[in-house]
Amino acid sequence: MNKISKIIILSVLTLILVITGYFLYNKWLESKMGLVSFENVLEQQVDGKKYIENKEVGLKFAIPDGWEIEKYSEGIIIHSSDFVSIGKDNFVPQSGCSIVVNSDRQKEGSNYDRQYSSLKKTISDENVFTFNADTNKKEIIELSGLKGIRQEFFMANFFNNQGNVISVLIPYNEVIYSFETYFFGKDKEICLQEFNKFLTTIIIKK
């Protein structure tokens, strides 16, 4: 085998290795992206308060007193003991209160960057944040030392009910931390108070 043939073979083998490595990296990346499971989170008692901790994304928060927990592969729902949903298979309250928490891994600048970069840009360009109407409000807030977006919007027809949704989104370290609550039932004022108190307990590890 002459020298040119050896160079060609080595080049082909190198190309195959590069393509295989790229394919395997993307498969690995795909397995790490998306909503993080909350099924195996830690539950701790600290000074009489129950805390939930998801070490995979460095998230910790307190559960309001007397509230119940439902863990899922794509997040966690906490709700008051008197919670009754408006319809089947949802966590919008007819009575009582509920909060939905999830964490979404998104690789910045990749095909898996569905919202992460745009959230960061919106937060950094504070001057573009001018939309504020009676039924839709947005503001930049700080939570656990990190900036995020708090948005409130009106839903005119959800199972023949009207109400507001508040969503808080914090983009950090290629994770979007999401906290959402709903004001549809008779306990709207109590639910807003509980949600605001809940936000003060959130810890995102740096």
* Annotated domain spans of the chain: 1-32, 35-204
CA dihedral angle for residue 136, residue 142, residue 143, residue 149, rounded to 10 degrees: 30
Q: What is the pLDDT of residues 61-90, one digit of tens each?
A: 999 999 999 988 889 999 999 998 887 777
Residues 99/180, Cβ–Cβ less than 8 Å: yes
Overall fold of domain 35-204: Protein Transport Mog1p; Chain A (3.40.1000)
What is the pLDDT, as a whole number, of residue 25?
46
CB within 8 Å of 169: residues ≥ 6 apart: 115, 119, 148, 149, 151, 176, 177, 178
What's the angle, vertex CA 82, arms to CA 76 and CA 87, rounded to 5? 70
Please list the residues that pair with 136 across neighbouring strands.
Answer: 153
Strand stretches in 96-135, DSSP E: 98-105
**Structural tokens at position 177:** 């931390």
What are the pLDDT tens digits along the chain (206 aa)?
A: 666 666 666 666 666 665 655 554 455 444 555 789 898 898 998 888 999 999 999 999 999 999 999 988 889 999 999 998 887 777 888 889 999 999 999 988 888 788 999 999 988 886 545 455 556 788 899 999 999 999 998 888 777 778 889 999 999 999 999 999 998 878 888 999 999 999 999 999 97
The whole-number pLDDT of residue 165 equals 92
CA–CA dist 9, 15 (Å, integer): 10
Q: Which residues pair with 158 in a beta bridge?
A: 161
Q: Which residue has the tokens 């959402």?
A: 180
Q: In the prediction, which pLDDT does 20 show?
A: 58
Whether 110 contacts 99, CB under 8 Å: no
